[in-house]
Amino acid sequence: MILGELHRLSDLEFNYSTCGCQLRKSCGLPCACVLSAYLNSGEDIPLDSIDIFWRTLDVSWSTPLENEDIQCDDELHIFKEKFKKQSNAGKKSFLRKLADIFNPSTNLIKEPAVKKNTRGRPSLKKQKKKKCVDPKNQDPGLQDVIGDGNCGFRSVAVALGLSEDQWPRIRSDLVRELDVNQQKYKYIFGTTDYKKIYKTVQLAGKWMEMPNTGLIIASAYNRVVISLANGGNVGGCTTIFPLWSSPPQSEPHGTIVIAHVNDNHYIKATLREGCPLPMTHPLWITYKSDIASAWEDPYVSRQEEFREYYFRIPETFDLSK
């Protein structure tokens, strides 16, 4: 699978923004855009960028268990020891996992929604009706901003407690971050993609390019950035930490949550406490400074919960018995 991604890099039409990151999101293996960064830097693929499923895969023959008295005392002891070491959010995450085992009907996995027919031009009557939304019915965890090409930067401003009209300040801060750490970012993104990101940040009306701009946002404001999306050119869901600084002693850390909706707009989102979090951005895993390594630690259990929900292997049942 990785070889197939390397072949994609040799395609003259391939560029970083159209990678899609499908291999990384579905299998936990480096996709073409990540492999490109490794090739440019001349380093080997780090083990941390490979999902633990592949690193612990055992293909040896197993011995069938017959009439064995299976106990769980050791496992429960390990669970209790790990539970004691967790933060309050981590403990809630552990307890939710137990609840899912005892009562599967309460878990977060829901039946996928049926895709509506989108063929044909919608009538003007339907369009007008769609715009009339009762504010009481809107999700309180979502905050919309003006969609003028600056919506991503407006969303960051709102997440920082500012007015969305202060988006020029956000652009200015990110340009300063790119200038101060120019050589580092060129090493991470490559010169071509650095210039591309710089342009989208500097020029008003240019769309924010996520999730890579998230690395710059996190580092500029010393916040955890969570990018939510359905995939495609925006790279799917990922969690991003500051690259150059050590985390503050207090928890929880400040977060900036940006959601890409309708394939053409960014909004500010708020996540419930202790909810599962998407996996860490692979470029942060590869290029973070030593003092920044501890940022990820408090979120590992929540990311494992995310992995279990969205990357679990479907169970099969023999209906002939």
Q: Are 177 and 170 in contact (CB under 8 A)?
A: no
Q: Are 105 and 313 in contact (CB under 8 A)?
A: no
Please report the pLDDT score of residue 74 as a whole number. 83
Q: Which CATH architecture has domain 138-310?
A: Alpha-Beta Complex (3.90)
Please report the pLDDT score of residue 180 as a whole number. 94
Measured CA to CA, the distance from residue 184 to residue 171 in angstroms comes to 19
Please report the pLDDT score of residue 181 as a whole number. 94
For 64-116, what is each residue's pLDDT tens digit? 656 667 788 888 888 888 888 887 777 777 777 777 677 665 554 454 555 55
For residue 142, what is the DSSP state?
A: E
What parts of the chain have a pLDDT lower than 70? 9-18, 40-42, 57-68, 100, 103-140, 230-235, 310-321
User: Which runs of E-coded beta strand occur in the chain?
Assistant: 142-143, 224-228, 238-240, 255-261, 265-269
Please report the pLDDT score of residue 174 as a whole number. 95
* pTM of the entire predicted model: 0.58
- Residue whose token pair is 């715009």: 131
Please report the pLDDT score of residue 182 as a whole number. 94
Please report the pLDDT score of residue 14 as a whole number. 59
Domain-wise residue ranges, the chain:
2-55, 138-310
**CA angle, residues 183, 242, 272, in degrees to nearest 5:** 150
- Residue whose token pair is 């960064």: 37
Neighbouring CB atoms inside 10 A of 202's CB total 13
For residue 120, what is the DSSP state?
A: S
Please report the pLDDT score of residue 87 as a whole number. 76
User: Which runs of E-coded beta strand occur in 56-97?
Assistant: none
Q: Are 253 and 259 in contact (CB under 8 A)?
A: no
Please report the pLDDT score of residue 132 as a whole number. 37
Measured CA to CA, the distance from residue 302 to residue 39 in angstroms comes to 31
R_g of the chain, CA atoms, integer Å: 22
